[in-house]
Amino acid sequence: MLTLGNDKHWYALYCKSRHEHKVNARLLSKGFVTYLADYQTRAQWGTRLRNTRRNLLPGYVLVQAQIDSSTYLHILQTESVLNFVGQAWPRLSWIPDAQVNNLRCVLESGERFEETTYWQQGETVEIIAGPLQGVSGIVAGMTNRQHRVVISIDLLQRGVAVEMDSSFLRRLPPIALTA
């Protein structure tokens, strides 16, 4: 039997659309430790304000397990589970405990939070709104809610940096430089 180690890790499972609660219940009934990143919020429906639950990670359920080949298949054979997120068996991608604990802490605290797009430093983006609409550049970092985007001319090794709200950015495929 192939084993990935003696430690339990968190894995992200990709589920059928809007089946996260069902997958969560099915995995719990099989004895797995799971986490569904849902939280209470207020939503306006018509003229009424109602309390409702939303999933911060739609389409995903987190499961904590010590994965070997039989556990891997047992999880994958759960109805509505489509796949593990990341690398394929036997080199599965896992999520550090600290990241799951941080997410859980934020969601359970009741403090206000804001979902934001995840931008990595070095990612190629296009500005989709404002006076710089259509300009593309590379994300250089973040200050407050603004992302620093560098617009450069590589051949001349010159560039300018502009700070832009993340809602004005759209991810682009990496630019291939031709010689």
* Predicted local confidence at residue 134, as pLDDT: 86
* Predicted local confidence at residue 2, as pLDDT: 38
**Any bridge partners for residue 120, and if so which?**
none
Domains of the chain by residue range:
9-109, 124-171
Q: State the Cα–Cα distance between residues 161 and 164, nearest whole angstrom.
A: 10
* Residue in the structure block whose two tokens are 């495929």: 173
Q: 169 to each of 117, 125, 134, how far by Cα in Å?
A: 9, 6, 10
pLDDT for 64 beyond 90: yes
Q: State the Cα–Cα distance between residues 179 and 177, nearest whole angstrom.
A: 7
The CATH number of 124-171 is which of 2.60.40, 2.30.30, 3.40.1130, 1.10.3470? 2.30.30
Q: Which two tokens stand for residue 34?
A: 């799971």
Is there a contact between 61 and 24 (Cβ–Cβ < 8 Å)?
yes
- 85-143 pLDDT, tens digit per residue, is 999 888 999 999 999 998 898 888 887 777 766 777 888 888 888 888 888 888 887 77
Q: Provide mean pLDDT across the span 159-171.
A: 81
The CATH fold of domain 9-109: Alpha-Beta Plaits (3.30.70)
Q: State the Cα–Cα distance between residues 122 and 51, nearest whole angstrom.
A: 39
**Any bridge partners for residue 54, and if so which?**
39
Cβ neighbours, 10 Å, residue 19: 16
- 8-33 pLDDT, tens digit per residue, is 999 999 999 999 999 999 999 999 99
**Judging by beta carbons within 10 Å of its beta carbon (0-12, 13-18, 19+), is residue 131 exposed, middle or buried?**
exposed
